Amino acid sequence: MWYLLAASLFFLPFRLRISLGLLVVSLIVAVLNHTLQPVALLVLVVMAVVAFFCFRRKESDVLAKVGEGLLVLSAGALMLHLVPGFTNLIVVAGAQAGPESAPFTFNYNLDKALVPFLLLGCLPGLLKRPATPPRNRLWWLILLLSLPLLLLIATLAGGLRVELHYPEWLGSFMLANLFFVSFAEEALFRGWLQQRLSQRVGNGWGLLAASVLFGLAHAAGGVMLICFATVAGLIYGLAWLWSGRVWVSTLVHFAFNMLHLLFFTYPLWQHPPG
């Protein structure tokens, strides 16, 4: 089921009909193996009806705007795992990537993975918009080099330490992080939020506001994590702005997470007692 779901997300930016077909099959399997309970299925049917209604109406239509608000709230609820009836698969529980890394848990999240589909219903241009490329392509190289630089700064600030990893669950982590985490978050924060803000206050302010909100979404990790997540949001936001493609910012987001996992304590440095 999880591979079918990942495949449906892979095709979403390029082949919508194939993507939706794979999504339907994924959800049928999810019902059969009890990953998706009846209450969650009912909620998803209602969300799908609203998404289809919004997709067929003009964005300026009042009812379409109401529908968009409902879909965004629904996407937020799915992102935060507030919708009952999802039994997400725990892949790793309380594991350490290395001896100095803090224990962490990650899941295959069906609810979070559905966020891009919902948001596409209220914003057909969610995954593809006119690009605003930098004048010099060298800026792309600088943007990519800023990924390891940010992690090194976090190390100097005491949040991380250099620690090489190649855990046995690396493949599962890559699948989950690329499709069920990075893509979902980029669809919400860049594809929808930054795009809508940019339409109202311009690209610069839209980039800044979306990045700050992305940072605040990591408030549970403390002030330092908020600051670094905000800067990371600026990097992802520029990748989205320059390319006009959510899949590009998703790959940048995924690359940052992989650099973090492979070369630094993940998700944080576990300070020795005392």
Cα–Cα distance, 262 to 195 (Å, whole number): 32
What is the Cα gyration radius of the chain? 19
Q: What is the per-residue pLDDT for 273?
A: 66
Of 159, 120, 150, the C-alpha closest to 259 is: 150
Q: What is the per-residue pLDDT for 81?
A: 94
- The torsion angles phi and psi of 84, rounded to 5 degrees, stand at -70, 160
Of 183, 239, 253, 250, the C-alpha closest to 9 is: 183
pTM of the model: 0.95
Digit-by-digit pLDDT tens for the chain (274 residues) are 999 999 999 999 999 999 999 999 999 999 999 999 999 999 999 999 988 888 777 766 777 788 889 999 999 999 999 999 999 999 999 989 999 999 999 999 999 999 999 999 889 899 999 999 999 999 999 999 999 999 999 999 988 999 999 999 999 999 999 999 999 999 999 999 999 999 999 999 999 999 999 999 999 888 989 999 999 999 999 999 999 999 999 999 999 999 999 999 999 888 776 5
Name, in order, each residue with C-beta under 8 angstroms of 255's C-beta and a sequence gap of 6 or more: 144, 147
Cα–Cα distance, 19 to 12 (Å, whole number): 5
Q: Could you report the per-residue pLDDT of 250-271, keeping only the tens digit for each?
A: 999 999 999 999 999 999 888 7
Cα 139 vs. chain centroid, distance in angstroms? 24
Q: What is the per-residue pLDDT for 272?
A: 72
Alpha helices in the chain (DSSP H): 2-11, 16-32, 38-55, 62-79, 110-113, 115-122, 138-156, 170-175, 183-186, 195-201, 203-216, 223-243, 246-263
